[in-house]
Amino acid sequence: MHFDFLLEGFEQRRAESAIGWKDATYSYGWLLDRITEFEKRLEAEDGIAHSVVSLEGDYSPHTIAALFALIKLSSIIVPMDGNIPEAKRTEMLGVAEARTRVRAGEDGIEVISLDAEPPVNRWLDHLRQERAPGLVLFSSGSTGKSKAAVHHAGRLLWKFRLARSAKRTIPFMMFDHIGGLNTMLQSLAGGGCLYILQDRSPYEVCRTIEAHRIQALPVSPTFMNLLLLSGVHAEFDLSSLEVVSYGSEVMPESTLTAWKERFPSVRTVQAYGMSELGVLRTKSRTDDSLHFSLADDGVQYRIVDGMLEIKTATAMLGYLNAPDPFTSDGWLMTGDMAVEEGGFLRILGRRSDLINVGGEKVYPAEVESVLQLIANIEEVAVSGEPSAITGQIVKATVKLQGEESLKELRGRIWEFCKDKLPAWKIPQKIVITNDSMTSERMKKVRISQK
């Protein structure tokens, strides 16, 4: 079995708490019993075992149990958050060639058969013929259609056989996100307890940390900035917090500096992962550094033309709806622009977000890091805009804390940036907005115009 080591660990910890949800706790024994119950229920349904199945619902003990039951049946699972709009859900079900929908909730599971043929995609058919469990993970890109990455679930699960220390952890990312899955598996493999949030607001996160003496918090840089801006952390006792890991987007240096000033005793760790790779083990050069090394055994990396390429056994098999991102010799082209210094990597930004100003490269995160230091700026997103003269110019979309004229803001930005950024990196166009630039996944929404 692909994850016997996990189930054996659950059995050994039957009486211990595994999940906290809605002010109740669920033991490892409860989880095991529910996995068995769901497995029997699903095994009786045609089109579940060895087939493509969507798993739909909120992050809860019930969706976690259903996920493990489907893995035991060697299903190819498409996790879907319960709040996905129906039109988007229908599109995703079609891309994934799903034959069955499974909805998990407090009352059990609901099975809905779909009028679909066995998968024709080569990767889905490969898993079905091998009778191996699979995962189809959709990217959380802010523009265009999400890419669907197909994984051999057994390969992703195998790395969790080396359990880490047990901690009380908040699974901040959604359960259909690679980061959310990674947090869940890491916590349960190590004998920890997951405390599931009712919402992802700074207030609820801080309340949960205090109420349950949370030790570990994996979040996005955007959320860390929002929490600092909110000031609600001053209302709660967060002394139990030991480690914050951040990933899913580039960390602005100013945000990390501000975080360390506010929480000097909390260890910060830069994570690295993506839907196509899983989440790789990392080691930060120092607690306040944006440089990290890849600490996973068997992971190789190289930088080609400024872009990070990785080879690892946990990489996806391929996409369902996008061109193959692998090189001819098996390296995944991540799309992340990076530099290496003394054996440590630093991610500069996505190649798709890169702004080219008259041949000069501008990475949005670098400019955002400076702009976030300016008084009265609450949120900022930097992108490129077409220019007949330079090809592109730097555009900054800004949400303000208080009212200010565009003319006054433009002058303050230029004055603040002139000795901190080269002229071509200083935004030439400023747009003031009242809209949040944070997605539901707590990532910065940045739209580049090429």
DSSP string, 55-94: EEE-SSHHHHHHHHHHHHTT-EEEEEETTS-HHHHHHHHH
**pLDDT value of position 298:** 82
Closest to 334 in 3D by CA, of 237, 395, 412, 247: 247
Which runs of consecutive H residues, i.e. helices, occur in 340-433?
364-371, 406-417
Q: Which secondary-structure segment (H or E) carries 432?
A: strand 429-432
AA identity, residue 340: E
249-258, 293-302, 421-430: the lowest-pLDDT one: 293-302
Closest to 448 in 3D by CA, of 399, 372, 409, 392: 392
**pLDDT value of position 105:** 87
Q: How far, in Å, CA of 167 to CA of 216, rounded?
A: 7
What DSSP string describes 38-60? HHHHHHTSTTTTTSEEEEEE-SS
Q: What is the mean pLDDT of the chain?
A: 91
DSSP three-state, residue 116? coil
pLDDT in tens, 239-274: 999 999 998 888 889 999 999 999 999 999 999 989
Q: How far, in Å, CA of 108 to CA of 4, rounded?
A: 24
* Two structure tokens written together for 365: 């995160």
Domains of the chain: 4-157 (3.40.50.980), 354-432 (3.30.300.30)
The whole-number average pLDDT for the span 95-108 is: 92
**246: Cβ contacts below 8 Å, ≥ 6 apart:** 218, 219, 220, 221, 224, 268, 269, 270, 271
pLDDT at 2 over 70: no
Q: Are 326 and 363 in contact (CB under 8 A)?
A: no
pLDDT in tens, 78-101: 999 888 889 989 999 999 999 999
pLDDT in tens, 333-365: 999 999 999 889 999 999 989 999 999 999 999
Q: Are 241 and 263 in contact (CB under 8 A)?
A: yes
Q: pLDDT band at residue 140, thresholds of 50, 70 and 90?
A: low
The whole-number average pLDDT for the span 49-72 is: 94
